[in-house]
Structure formats: C-alpha cells, structure tokens
C-alpha cells in the first residue's frame, strides 16, 4: 500500500478511511498522540514513544483498551504493509465517540487512530531558519495533546517568514518550538529547558542529553533567555523526525556557527544511534 490508515480495527488507504463525526477528537481535540520515524520495518524507539503515549493518556484520564505490546505489534504490522522503506508513524487516542458534551461521556471506549506514510529520513546536517514568538499555549504543554491550534498558527507564521520552526518564549524565557524542543550550545555546554509544564519531555531531547553525557559534554537543564538564544554558539532543534538539526538564521539574522565540531559530534552520535536502532 502507498500509505495506511487504521481506525478501531478498520484498515485502508488514508484518503479512503471514514471516522465518526462524534469522535471527541473532532470537536474537542480530546485525546493525545505520539509519532516517530520508521526505517527497515522498525518503528524507531517504539517502546519509549508508547510509554509516553500511555502516560499522556493517563494524565487526561483516558484508559486505553489495549496493551502497550498490542500497540507495538499493531504499529509494526501496519508498517510492513506500506510500500516504503522510510516512513512516519502517527497514532492518537481519543476519549471516544459520543454526543457533544464537555463532560466526559460514560461507558464509551477510546478510539485508536493510526496513519503511516512514506517520509524520507532527513539530512540532519542541513541548516534551518527559525523565528520566535510569544508562547500563548496553556499550562499543560507537557502533555502531547491533539489540540494544537497555537502551534498550527505559529508554524504558519514560520512558513510565511521562510523559516522551518517557531521558537516560543514566555516573556524572556525560551520554552520550546511549535513542534520541536530547542537547546543551545554555549562555552562547551548544552543548555536545555527543564521538563516542567511549559515543554514536552521530548524523546529526541532525552537522546541528545544521552549523547552529550556519552561525549562528556556538560548538560544544564535550566531555563535560558532570548538573549542567550541569540548569542548561543549553536542553536539545536530536536524532534523524532528532525533528530538534531541546527539553526543558522534567527528572525532573519545569522546566528550560531561558533561550535561546529561540537555540534557535529552530537549530531553524529544521535544519528548513529538511529542507524543502529533500525539496523542500517
């Protein structure tokens, strides 16, 4: 198949799948999701993504009607049916299907929705442009909710500015990007925001920290400012599809480029772990 969609046991091409209009994902964004890249029939870091998925579901009182192993097996089974060696897997769970009402419906089962689409693994050494914007999201950014309107708007602003990402800040404090985590290198140290309610505890973020520790690069998990961002030796953007990119333009001005060897060492370690993980 050129792509695959799954909804509560039904399987087909994404463009041919139908879902109920009363799925609470549609009118409330009442659910959580996770996603990762795939290669050689492997859903990369599946266990970590599934653990986070179940944790996030629990944080909004959704109890999956399947086990972690069942989801793991299902993702890999669906992946095998897609005619591409490199793919992107996305899955979400909603509270269920019921008449529109803000109050949780009783006696309904969650809905599981999965898509797997061809997506080439990107060149992590290619520089990107970024912009900044005030972070107007709510105070549950640690939950990977499917309600993403503020990040959609920010992503569009970045697109219109010729940039790939929008870095959020609350006042002077840098938080994260519209769909990535952000880190800086300064004076031989990696600085990254703490995992509080203002950012998602990114899995790629965790693996960058792991890479730094392996390379004996100090890691500082404390807030940093817009000034520090602008004056960083390198700006790093990470996600499960981006791995470990660096930005060389911030709000139209050149930035970074002051620690290329250190940056490349981290990128090599992160991408090498990916290649090993997918058997490449």
* 20-23 CB contacts, 8 Å cutoff, 24+ apart: 20/97, 20/111, 22/97, 22/98, 22/99, 22/100, 23/94, 23/96, 23/97, 23/111
> Quick one: the chain helix, strand, coil %, rounded to 5?
30, 30, 40
- Burial string for 180-194 (b: 16+ CB within 10 Å, else e) reads bbbbbbbeeebbbbe
Q: Out of 80, 99, 127, 144, which one is annotated catalytic? A: 144
144 is an active site residue? yes
3-state SS, residue 53: helix
Rounded CA separation 11/7 (Å): 7
For tokens 């609470």, the residue is 24
- Whether residue 235 contacts residue 192, with contact meaning beta carbons closer than 8 Å, is answered with no
- Whether residue 69 contacts residue 54, with contact meaning beta carbons closer than 8 Å, is answered with no
DSSP bridge partners of 235:
184, 247
Q: Which helix (H) or strand (E) holds 273?
A: helix 260-277
Rounded CA separation 15/99 (Å): 25
* Cα dihedral 247, 158, 140, 136 sign: positive
Which are the catalytic amino acids? Answer: 144
């Amino acid at each position: 198949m050129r792509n695959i969609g799954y909804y509560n046991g039904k399987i087909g091409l994404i463009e041919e799948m139908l879902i109920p209009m009363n799925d609470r994902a549609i009118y409330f964004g009442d659910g959580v999701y996770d996603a990762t890249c795939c290669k050689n029939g492997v859903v990369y870091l599946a266990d970590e993504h599934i653990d986070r998925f179940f944790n996030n579901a629990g944080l909004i009182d959704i109890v999956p009607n399947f086990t972690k192993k069942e989801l793991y097996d299902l993702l890999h089974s669906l992946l095998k049916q897609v005619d591409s060696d490199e793919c992107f897997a996305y899955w979400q769970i909603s509270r269920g299907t019921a008449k529109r009402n803000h109050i949780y419906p009783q006696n309904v089962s969650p809905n599981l929705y999965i898509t797997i689409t061809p997506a080439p693994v990107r060149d992590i050494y290619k520089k990107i442009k970024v912009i900044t914007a005030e972070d107007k999201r709510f105070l549950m950014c640690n939950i990977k909710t499917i309600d993403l309107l503020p990040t959609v708007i920010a992503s569009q602003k970045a697109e219109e500015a010729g940039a790939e990402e929008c870095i959020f800040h609350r006042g002077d404090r840098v938080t994260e990007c519209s769909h990535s985590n952000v880190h800086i290198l300064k004076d031989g140290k990696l600085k990254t925001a703490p995992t509080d309610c203002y950012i998602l505890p990114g899995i790629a973020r965790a693996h960058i920290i792991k890479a730094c520790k392996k390379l004996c690069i100090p890691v500082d998990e404390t807030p940093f400012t817009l000034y520090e961002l602008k004056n960083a030796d390198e700006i790093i953007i990470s996600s499960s599809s981006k791995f470990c990119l660096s930005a060389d333009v911030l709000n139209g001005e050149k930035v970074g480029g002051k620690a290329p060897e250190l940056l490349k060492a981290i990128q090599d370690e992160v991408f090498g772990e990916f290649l090993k993980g997918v058997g490449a």
